Amino acid sequence: MTAYILRRLWQMLPTMLGVIVLVFILFNWVGGDPAYILAGKMSNPEQIANIRKQLGIDQPYYIQLWIFIKQIVTFDFGASWSTGESVSNVILTRLGPSLTVLIPLTILETLLAVALALGIAFVRGSLTDRMVMIACTVGLSISILVYIIVFQYWFAYKLGLFPVQGWGDSFAENLFKYSALPILIALTVGLAPNLRLFRTFVLDEVNQDYVRTARAKGVSERRIVWVHVLRNASIPIITHVMSNLPYLLIGAFLIERFFSIPGIGREVILAVERSDFPVIKAVTVYVAAATMIFNLLTDLMYQAVDPRVQLK
Amino acid sequence: MTPQNQPKVSPGLWALAWRRLRGDKIAMGAMAVVIAFLVMLVLSFTGLIAKDWDAEVGVNYAPPTFIGKAGGGDQIGGVTEDLGPPPENPYDPLKDIIKELRAQSGPEAAAGADAPVDDYGIKDPLEKEMAEIRAELSKSGATAAAAKQETLPFGADKWGHDIIKKTIKGAETSIIVGLVAAFLATALGTLFGAVAGYYGKWVDDVFNWFYSVFTSVPYLLLILAVAAVLQQKGVMTIILILGLTGWTGTFRLIRAEYMKHKAREYVWAADAIGATNMRKMFVHIFPNVSHVALVQISILVVSFIKSEVILSFLGFGVPVGTVSWGSMLNEAQNELILGKWWQLTAASVAMAVLVTAFSMFTDALRDALDPKLK
Amino acid sequence: MENTPLLKVSDLRVSFKTDKTHYVEAVKGVSFEIPRNKTVALVGESGSGKSVSSLAVMGLLDPNTSKIDASSRLEFEGRNLLEMSIAQRRDLCGKEISMIFQEPMTSLNPVFTVGFQIAEVLRLHMGMSPKQARARAIELLDEVGIPNPKQKIDAYPSQMSGGQQQRVMIAMAIACEPKLLIADEPTTALDVTIQKQIIDLIAALQKKHHMSVLFITHDLALVGEIADEVIVMRNGEIREAGDIHQIFEAPRDAYTKALLRCRPSLDSRPMRLPVIDDFMKGGDEPAITHQERSRGLTGDEEIVLEVKNLGKSFYTREGLFGKKEFQAVKDVSFKLPRGKTLGVVGESGSGKTTVGLTLLRLHQATKGQAFFDGKDILSMSEKEFLNYKRRIQIIFQNPYASLNPRFTIGQILLEPMRIHNIGANDDERTAMAYQLLKRVGLPEAAFHRYPHEFSGGQRQRIAIARCLTLKPEVLVCDESVSALDVSVQAQVLNLLQELQEEYKMSYIFISHDLAVVKYIADQVMVMNHGEVVEMANSDELYRDPKHPYTRTLLGAIPRGLTH
């Protein structure tokens, strides 16, 4: 086991390096000399020259790359070009709000989708099944933007059930008052694709030979679905949820932007709008690292839930 | 020798799939909708319709025709209209005195005793010139006023553009981006997947490294990062961004397929009879895998249309002069508060219809090409 | 009470949906009885409807895709199963009637322990507490012959071998002491030696628990060891049913006779195996030749292929940086004379298939040489070997996977000719293809068809035709008839023999089926764990096996009626 983990960590290094190089190419080479971007934000030429020197713009590329790597390892990307706040601070403070929305959302979404998928397994092939699937398809076709605009307008603005925007200071306030509508919207949007996927997982299991054996043993359909099938389907479900977590962090950016939730996603959008390179670079690199670690965790968890798998 | 009468060639995969598809009424319906959109696309692209979408043909925020025109008064800019006599000023201190004087000057004047006074009888020294200017203005104004309609079939946006034409143009943008980018991404993914899956070993390792680098960064983040860096906007840019980042899903699928088929006996048989690697990859294996690529294109079209709308909404997509459903949604956000819902509805419904039809068609296509007992 | 049959099936008709409106009848009015305390064998080839009938009895057919005709009756101890409610039927399943299936690996739930799955049926039907169920489960595992039952009870199915998994299935099935055990091809997926153990186990359990067994199989010889009565099915109908002695000694139906005779027997080797058609055409046995074919090597034949010290190892990763070696083939040497057949027998994992694949360089040999026409084909470059590829060809086991599903038969036949530039143009090649199709007994119209339109036996013949386009000198037959029904097997074997005589090809015939190998091989090489254990002329080997493993192998062959 330790050998496996060590080997995976070792294998992550070239990938990490690849991401670093990719980001570097994008921002330092294609993006070029940031002087003209900075010129629009800071009027002080000395400051601009300082930043250019820090980034080593006038130096050959490999030195620039080395500087970049050093920044990553020391968690010090300097300051945001637009707000002057230290980039590491930016990331750390924005993480909390994102997670306040993300964690309850993931739990609710997964439980709901699994329960519905299992329920559908009972009525597979029937009209209900097809109606639900069509509803999912239509639901998926409406842009998330529309959901956000309409929900925000209707539930918050018109009916006044939730605050239109904003974020508070206390955790409880944030969780129940400010996150409620965003979570509701994200649930509605995320349910359809997850339900479709989980339904496929569940139906794949229902068609397996061991279900036939269970029936031959006289086991009831309910027990078959909730014990036999669920346990097997939970393998791809857990794998899917775990490996998707890093994506959710960024995917919530639209919701964060609309609701002015000071999370990482919103920060990224703002950074892109303002061409705030340090922030974008830092977030990209760290999210990539998080994704890789989550993939490793997913594989380890896979071994824990599936007795057939032996990691070597 | 070759027989004179060729016996009927039995159906291959595509013919069988087509037969199955034909029997599925929902799929046929979905396909019809998609084709309708494509026809609309061609007409729009060649300029046969919606060419003049950016002409300001309606009054600002003109409501849809089926609702009726908005109440006058809150028109902004450039509409001359006969406003009628100035309304009575209730605080006029001379009001009562004028009333008495009129009553005294005679019965006709008395009849109009309450009528508001027009300039107190003082003649306007510039009257003649003003009349001329007014005539000039009302000439051009009249044509302008006649051209700007009060209602359009589905309303107008802030500048008076016809919503329907904008929606059509938006469809053009989205579909072109979707189709071209999907082809690009699928072509790349298939090529990479085939080579990686077939050759294995270090070639596979290199491609897998490439794949893991691209997938370590969440897709949208990657797109945003690229959009941030590429200062030059345009439809081509978006297509390149989406195409060059979206190949990963196809890669994984095709790679798995090639690895699976490479171990199948018919490929070993091909090896035994002396086929080269190239031949095995593209003549023998590819026909068994092409249906996967086709379904992938379909899936990607849907995904890219949605991404393009989001990008354009955020302002990172199409440039200002081009219409996209995303930019329409962006405008709609503010319009909603003012109670103008038509642009939001048009863009949302058009997009929903297209994407639903395409999604259903994709599902039906997948089932037709690879039927499994449900 | 002893006279009423345990199970009485009357006029069972089952149809399957092919599309929204059409049904195809798979079982066409089948009636039979299963008496108490007896073993009844239900024999038939693929498509006969034997499995479908048993699934109907258990109520395991999918109501969405199949339907049972209203006139059918399934009476278990007098009660019609089809008229019962789902709950009542569920009560019977696992308790009074149990079933075991062909593939134990997939039939067991992979994520639950063996103990959990056995205990489930005990707790469900016998109302046992978890502790009681666990204790009983350990007893059951012991009864079915699982060593260390106290440890194995917490094992997962993936941690057991195929034979052990099947024993677990049996334990689950007999846990509640059912009156009827249905066994659907329980040994087909297992090795010959394991097969014998499982069959013996089932027979012992049948006697001990006084239950009836419905044993479903395609192998009539297998049945002779354990059955009291036999029912023969073909194409959804019963051809013949009766006492086992009567069936084996005096079969009445033509198909039954065909099934008995088409399999190569260990005692004789006719010039040509009888095929189904010989019997079905009517009349008694008009076309059967009794002339024997002699096989064996004299020692001074011309050698076409000489293999020396062939070895092949597979490497898997171990630990942080290490590699683990698995030796599939250790040290194999043999000489193959022109126009003769070398049989290679062994069970799964013996390395026999790897030998064949390595000779064709589909695997890369780890060591050893193979001299073909004086040159070592294993050490040549790829380019050099291309010239030799024509001369040594292979026919694979799985007829469903060895033909490209997207090619027409014509394309499949033309492909090798195009690669090796045989024939001046496509017209000539097409003509040759038509000739070959005729030679292997297929119609010319097959040229434009796709593989999925043909049966397993026909596909193997197409594969043979494909090889023939290159006129090879050595043909490796890797389990080429193992996946075929008995009747079809005979046809393909006859074809192979004819072609050998005509083209003077040498065969390396790899198989686990000892009877078939004895029939077709001149010399037989027995393999176990990658090594050659014994090699002799086929008659000698079977008459007087020297190595203990060979003796075990031969002892496990089902010999038909033995009791």
Distance from CA of A306 to the nearest CA of C (A): 6
pLDDT score of B69: 58
Residue A223 has a pLDDT of 92
Residues of A with Cβ-Cβ distance to B244 under 8 angstroms: none
Most confident of A264-278, B99-113, C515-529: C515-529
Dist CA C335 CA A19 (whole Å): 57
CB pair distance less than 8 Å for B274 and C444: no
Contacts of B374 in chain A (CB under 8 A): 124-125, 203
Average pLDDT for residues C538-561, to the nearest whole number? Answer: 86
Query: Across-strand partners of C367?
Result: C311
Chain C nearest C-alpha distance from B8 (Å): 8
Separation in Å, CA C99 to CA C178, C228, C299 = 10, 19, 53
pLDDT, average across residues C363-367: 89
Residue C293 has a pLDDT of 76
In whole angstroms, what is the distance from residue A126 CA to residue A120 CA? 9
Closest CA to C410 of C432, C392, C394, C440: C432
CA–CA gap between residue C174 and residue C366 (Å, rounded): 48
| Maximum mean pLDDT: which of B53-57, C176-180, C278-282, C313-317 | C176-180
pLDDT (0 to 100) of residue C563: 47
Q: What's the pLDDT tens digit per position in A265-277? A: 888 888 887 777 8
Cα dist from A243 to A288, A295, A300, A311, C33, whole Å: 12, 6, 12, 18, 56
From chain A, which residues contact C within 8 Å (Cβ)? 3, 6-7, 125, 208-210, 212-220, 228, 231-232, 235, 305-308, 312
How high is the pLDDT of residue B146? 46
Residue B141 has pLDDT above 80, yes or no: no
Q: Contact at 8 Å (CB) between B144 and B47? A: no
Q: B346: closest CA among B163, B152, B157?
A: B163
Binary contact (C419, B2; C-beta < 8 A): no
Which chains does A contact via 3+ CB–CB distances below 8 A? B, C
Chain A residues inside the 8 Å CB shell of B355: 140-142
Q: How many percent of chain A have pLDDT more than 70?
A: 92
Q: Is the pLDDT of residue B74 over 80?
A: no
- Nearest-CB residue to A149 (from B218, B315, B344): B344
**Residue A279 pLDDT grade (very low, low, confident, very high; cuts 50, 70, 90):** confident
Nearest to C102 by CA among A209, A298, A303, B245: A209
- B19-33, B47-61, B268-282, C81-95, range with the lowest pLDDT: B47-61
From A137, A284, A292, residue closest to B225, measured CB to CB: A284
Give me the residue from B7, B269, B275 closest to C448, CB to CB: B7
Res C404 pLDDT > 60: yes
Residue C111 to residue A235, Cβ atoms within 8 A: yes
CB hemisphere CA count around C296 (13 angstroms): 12
- Pick B131 or A213 by higher pLDDT: A213
Other CB atoms within 10 Å distance of the CB of residue A43: 9
Contacts of C320 in chain A (CB under 8 A): 3, 6-7
Q: Using 50, 70 and 90 to split pLDDT, how confident is the model at B87?
A: low
Strand C341-345, strand C523-528: pairing:
parallel
In this prediction, residue B237 has a pLDDT band, given cuts at 50, 70 and 90, of confident
pLDDT at C149: 92
- Structure confidence at residue C318 (pLDDT): 67
Please give the pLDDT value at position B12.
76
Smallest Cα distance from C440 to chain A, Å:
38
Interface mutation vs chain B, best among C415, C454, C482, most B CBs within 10 Å? C415
For C268, list phi and psi in degrees, rounded to 5.
Answer: -140, 160
Which long-range CB contacts under 8 A does A265-273 form with residues at least 24 apart?
A265/A98, A266/A94, A267/A90, A267/A91, A267/A94, A268/B221, A268/B224, A269/B224, A269/B314, A270/A82, A271/A80, A271/A82, A271/B228, A272/B224, A272/B225, A272/B227, A272/B228, A272/B314, A272/B316, A273/B314, A273/B315
The mean pLDDT of B363-371, rounded to a whole number, is 79
Q: Could you say which residues from 17 to 56 on chain B have a Cβ atom under 8 Å away from some Cβ of chain A?
A: none
pLDDT band with cut points at 50, 70 and 90 for residue C472: very high
Per-residue pLDDT at C297: 78
The CA distance from B289 to the nearest CA of chain C, in Å, is: 10
Work out the average pLDDT over A193-215: 90
Helices (H), chain B: 13-23, 25-45, 95-105, 107-111, 127-147, 163-199, 201-216, 219-229, 235-245, 248-262, 265-272, 277-279, 286-314, 325-337, 342-369
Q: How many CB atoms lie within 10 A of CB C322?
A: 10
pLDDT at position B57 is 67
Handedness of CA C106, C111, C115, C120 (dihedral sign): negative
Instruction: Name which residue leads in pLDDT, C17 or A47.
Output: C17
* Mean pLDDT for chain B overall: 78
Tokens of B355: 């994407």
Please classify residue C147 by burial: count the beta carbons closer than 10 Å to its beta carbon, then call 0-12 exposed, 13-18 middle and 19+ buried. Answer: exposed
The minimum CA-CA distance between C361 and chain A, rounded to whole Å, is 29
Q: What percent of chain B has pLDDT over 70?
A: 74
Q: Which two tokens stand for residue A196?
A: 């479709």
Please tell me which of the candidates C98, C101, C318 has its beta carbon nearest to residue A209. Answer: C101
**pLDDT confidence of B81, banded at 50, 70, 90?**
very low
Q: Of chain A residues 157-216, which have a CB less than 8 A from chain B? A: 157, 203, 207
Q: What is the pLDDT of residue C220?
A: 82
Confidence of residue B144 (pLDDT cuts 50, 70, 90): very low
Q: Which of the 8 DSSP states describes residue B328?
A: H
pTM assigned to the model: 0.81
Flag whether pLDDT at A235 surpasses 70: yes
Task: Flag if B266 and C404 touch (Cβ within 8 Å).
Answer: yes
User: What is the residue type of B5?
Assistant: N
Q: Note the pLDDT of residue A299.
A: 85
Q: C403: part of which helix (H) or strand (E)?
A: none
Mean pLDDT calculated for residue range C322-346: 90
C405, B265: Cβ pair inside 8 Å?
no
Give the DSSP letter of residue C292.
B
What's the confidence (pLDDT) of residue C229? 93
> Distance between CA A183 and CA B138 in Å, rounded?
56
User: What ipTM does the predicted assembly reach?
Assistant: 0.81
Beta carbons within 10 angstroms of residue B275's beta carbon:
20
Strands (E), C4-46: 7-17, 23-34, 39-44
Q: Burial level of C299, CB count in 10 A (0-12/13-18/19+)? A: exposed
Residues from chain C that touch A212, judged by Cβ atoms under 8 A, are 60, 101, 107
HSE-CB at C350 with a 13 A cutoff on CA atoms is 24
Q: In angstroms, rounded to a whole number, what is the distance separating the alpha carbons of residues A221 and A228?
A: 10
Given CA atoms B17, B19, B24, B27 in this order, what sign does their dihedral have? positive
Span B147-158, pLDDT tens digits: 566 667 777 777
Res. B251 pLDDT band, cuts 50 70 90:
very high
B271 at the C interface (CB within 8 A)? yes
Per the CB < 8 Å rule, is B2 touching C431?
yes
For chain A, give the DSSP string: -HHHHHHHHHHHHHHHHHHHHHHHIIIIIIS--THHHHHHH---HHHHHHHHHHHTTTS-HHHHHHHHHHHHHHT---B-TTT--BHHHHHHHHHHHHHHHHHHHHHHHHHHHHHHHHHHHHTTTSHHHHHHHHHHHHHHHS-HHHHHHHHIIIIIIIS-SS-SS---SSHHHIIIIISHHHHHHHHHHHHHHHHHHHHHHHHHHHTSHHHHHHHHTT--HHHIIIIIIHHHHHHHHHHHHHHHHHHHHHHTHHHHHHTT--SHHHHHHHHHHTT-HHHHHHHHHHHHHHHHHHHHHHHHHHHHH-TT----
Query: What average pLDDT score do residues A252-260 get?
Result: 84
pLDDT at residue B4 in the model = 41
d(CA C18, CA B318): 50
Q: Is B186 exposed, middle or buried (0-12, 13-18, 19+ CB in 10 A)?
A: buried
Range 69-108 of B in CB contact (< 8 A) with C: none
Does residue C174 sit at the A interface (CB-CB below 8 Å)? Answer: no
What is the token pair recorded at C524?
């037989």
Q: Which of the residue ranges B37-51, B227-241, B349-363, C276-290 has the most confident prediction, judged by mean pLDDT?
A: B349-363
Instruction: Name the C residues in 51-70 with CB < 8 Å from any A CB.
Output: 58-60, 64
- Nearest residue, CB atoms, B273 vs list C397, C419, C444: C419
pLDDT digits (tens, 9 = 90+) for C131-167: 999 999 999 999 999 999 999 999 999 899 889 999 9
pLDDT of residue B76: 39
B333/A31 CB distance under 8 A: no
* pLDDT for residue B374: 33
Nearest to B265 among C402, C427, C470 (CB): C402
* pLDDT (tens digit per residue) in A288-302: 888 888 888 888 888
CB within 8 Å: B10 and C449: yes
State how far the Cα of C118 lies from the Cα of A264, in Å rounded to an integer.
51
Give the integer Cα–Cα distance in Å for A205 and A212: 11
Q: What's the gap in Å between the CA of A26 and the closest CA on chain C?
A: 35
Pick C296 or C216 by higher pLDDT.
C216
Sort out which chain C residues have CB atoms less than 8 A from B284's CB and list them: 404, 407
- Element (DSSP H or E) covering residue C242: strand C237-243
Q: Who wins on pLDDT, A126 or C463?
A: C463
Ranking A49-58, A178-187, B353-362, C177-186 by mean pLDDT, the lowest is A49-58
- Tell me, what's the pLDDT at C287? 54
What average pLDDT does range A178-206 have in this prediction?
A: 88
Q: Please report which helix (H) or strand (E) contains residue C329, including its range.
A: strand C322-337
Interchain contact A250–B (C-beta under 8 A): yes
Which of C107, C118, C123 to mutate to test binding with chain A, by most A CBs within 10 Å of its CB? Answer: C107
Identify the pLDDT of residue C333. Answer: 93
With beta carbons under 8 A apart, name residues in chain C contacting B11.
450
- C525: β partners: C344, C535
Encode pLDDT of B157-209 as tens digits: 777 788 888 888 888 888 999 999 999 999 999 999 999 999 988 899 899 99
Residue C532: strand pairing partners = C527
Q: Which chains touch C (3 or more CB pairs under 8 A)?
A: A, B
Whole-angstrom distance, CA of residue A230 vs CA of residue C326 = 37
- For the segment B201-220, what is each residue's pLDDT rounded down to a tens digit? 889 989 999 898 888 888 77
Question: Does the structure show a pLDDT above 60 at C459?
Answer: yes
